[in-house]
Amino acid sequence: MRWVESGDVRLALFEEGDPDRPTIVLLHGYPDTHRVWDEVAALLRDRFHVVRYDVRGAGRSSAPRDRRAYDFDHLIADLGAVLDAVGKPRVHLVGHDWGSLQGWEAVAREGIRDRVASFTSLGGPGLRQMRHFLRHGRRRDVAAQRMRSWYIGAFLLPALPELAWGSVMPRIVTRTLLGEGVTPRPGHPAPTLAEDGRNGLWLYRRNMAATLGGPGLDPRVPDVPVQVIEATRDRFVTPALPTSFGRWVSGLWHRRLAAGHWAHRSRPDAVAGMIAEFAGHAEGARAGTALRRARVGGVR
């Protein structure tokens, strides 16, 4: 573990495996820390250089003094600082939940996407792509997704979500994990869960309205191979949403996995295998091998 400075925050960075091998960066979601990836990292570190970090306001990383500094500009700057510290020209980026939202934004931005050899998304849409889906998707599909995203409106309320994180929310997270067949273990949920939950509310408050309700940003991802792992039992994402991503991505792999939202905890072997396979194909493409295009894979 080492520290990386990014503006006024210190990011806790963790590395495993041979630095001379291709690098995979695992981005965690909300309200998790890098420890949610423990099982997957253990399965990848013999073949890859595995990098994880706690995002600002989570785990061992510090929180910004200004709570407004949870917007995508700051989050992508943090990712850039991590990539600078790792020192690789290109990495394979993998994100879950809010880590996935950050990954989608990263591959949409010039100056950062040329440092991404491939991107794997698990359990989190790109907000640029979601904006288009909410405005132009089929009415019943949009209604179904809005029902699954009800909690976002609750997180945007003042004060009440903070109170919930000091009382009932940690128990709700634990019950949700158990409902997916995921047993809590040391490191997940993190001992900092309540504080991480309160800090991470600002991810929603600073990015949701600005992206979903603001002027349309280009949703296309023309230059980065993207893999979407759709957890078919994810209670927060409808099947129609990841299916809509194909129009924005060249070289999309859309794969389905019989698992809930925390698929990387309940099915780490399958998730690690998909990540490794996709990264391997992307490495082959860079060496001159054509990256095959596969829109839909079977349920595993």
14-60 pLDDT per residue, tens: 999 999 999 999 999 999 999 999 999 999 999 999 999 999 999 99
What structural domains and CATH numbers belong to the chain? 2-296 (3.40.50.1820)
- 141-150 tens-digit pLDDT: 999 999 999 9
Higher pLDDT, 80 or 250: 80
Give the single-character DSSP code of 58: S
- Residue 294 pLDDT level (bands cut at 50, 70, 90): very low
Cβ-based neighbours of 57, under 8 Å, separated by 6 or more? 9, 63, 64, 70, 196, 199, 200, 202
Residue 37: predicted pLDDT: 98
Question: What does the mean pLDDT of the chain come to?
Answer: 94
Q: Is the pLDDT of residue 83 over 50?
A: yes
What string of DSSP letters covers 150-171?
HHHHHHTSSSHHHHHHTTTHHH
Specify whether the CB–CB gap between 288 and 122 falls below 8 A: no
Please, which pLDDT band fits residue 215 given cuts at 50, 70 and 90?
confident
**What pLDDT, on the 0 to 100 scale, is given for residue 90?**
97
- What is the CB neighbour count within 10 angstroms for residue 3? 13
C-alpha distances in Å from residue 22, one per residue of 86, 87, 89, 289: 12, 12, 10, 17
State how far the Cα of 221 lies from the Cα of 243, in Å rounded to an integer: 15
Question: What is the C-alpha end-to-end distance of the chain, expressed in Å?
Answer: 34
Q: Is the pLDDT of residue 62 over 70?
A: yes
Confirm if 132 and 221 have CB atoms less than 8 A apart: no
Q: Express each pLDDT in 87-132 by its tens digit.
A: 999 999 999 999 999 999 999 999 899 999 999 999 999 999 999 9
Q: What is the mean pLDDT of residues 137-158?
A: 96
- What pLDDT score does 216 carry? 77
Can you give the pTM of this predicted structure? 0.94
Task: Specify the pairing of strand 9-16 against strand 2-6.
Answer: antiparallel
- Residue 276's pLDDT is 98
